[in-house]
């Protein structure tokens, strides 16, 4: 008799509150699904952050930074006697110091002109290009050559007339999608 009452009690309880229990269960399952899927998204989002950053091999072993990258303030060029932005880094180094390719790539051009002197341009992946100016006339590479990071491409000279006052130096530029960027983004410079 007592048991029968209990059973009826349970049934009436379920009739009254069954839908609340069902709703609570559904909510709980939904929350678990949401939490699990949110955690999965986080794992996917983290992947690009962990990708290796591009790091350049230093174009010179021994150098002094004579002129830093500057695209906002104009710097007076004592050779050309004019104010200009210096969208590269100038390293002074002993005459004929070896100049190295910063990354794997293909030599896009080797040329000489009055202002920049002898220039080697290397085309890399990731839409990056590196420019090595004021090199000695006897460069070690020619247009179309494939180079490996750390290969000798030429030697420091004093061929660039736009910065003649620096003496033997390397004027180094980096472009990303053909726009000049600060080379120190990719270079780990010791005395900077």
Q: Which residues bind Zn ion (CB under 5 A)?
A: 67, 90, 163, 171
Minimum distance of Zn ion from residue 89's CB (angstroms):
7
Tokens linked to 30 = 């939904």
- Helical ranges in the chain per DSSP H: 2-49
Which is nearer to Zn ion, 145 or 175 (by Cβ)?
175
Which is nearer to Zn ion, 106 or 115 (by Cβ)?
115
The residue number whose beta carbon is nearest to Zn ion equals 90
Which is nearer to Zn ion, 32 or 85 (by Cβ)?
85
Minimum distance of Zn ion from residue 54's CB (angstroms):
22
Minimum distance of Zn ion from residue 188's CB (angstroms):
20
Tokens linked to 111 = 């040329």
Instruction: Give 26-72 as a DSSP string.
Output: HHHHHHHHHHHHHHHHHHHHHHHHTSPPP-PPPS-SS-EEEE--EEE
d(CA 29, CA 42) in angstroms, rounded, equals 20
Minimum distance of Zn ion from residue 82's CB (angstroms):
14
Which is nearer to Zn ion, 67 or 149 (by Cβ)?
67
Cβ(110)–Cβ(191) under 8 Å? no
């Amino acid at each position: 008799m007592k048991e029968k009452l209990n059973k009826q009690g349970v049934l009436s309880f379920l009739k009254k509150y069954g839908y609340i229990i069902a709703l609570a269960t559904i909510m709980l399952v939904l929350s678990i699904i949401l939490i699990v899927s949110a955690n999965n998204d986080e794992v996917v989002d983290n992947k690009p952050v962990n990708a290796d950053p591009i790091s350049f091999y230093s174009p010179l072993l021994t150098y002094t930074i004579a002129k830093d990258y500057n695209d906002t303030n104009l710097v007076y060029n004592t050779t050309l006697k004019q104010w200009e932005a210096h969208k590269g880094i100038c390293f002074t180094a002993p005459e004929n110091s070896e100049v190295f390719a910063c990354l794997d790539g293909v030599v896009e051009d080797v040329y000489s002109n009055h202002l920049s002197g002898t220039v080697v341009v290397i085309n890399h992946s990731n839409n990056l290009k590196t420019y090595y100016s004021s090199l000695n006339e006897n460069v070690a590479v020619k247009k179309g050559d494939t180079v490996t990071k750390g290969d000798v491409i030429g030697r420091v000279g004093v061929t660039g007339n736009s910065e003649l006052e620096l003496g033997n130096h390397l004027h180094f530029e980096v472009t990303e999608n053909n726009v000049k960027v600060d080379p120190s983004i990719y270079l780990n410079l010791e005395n900077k």
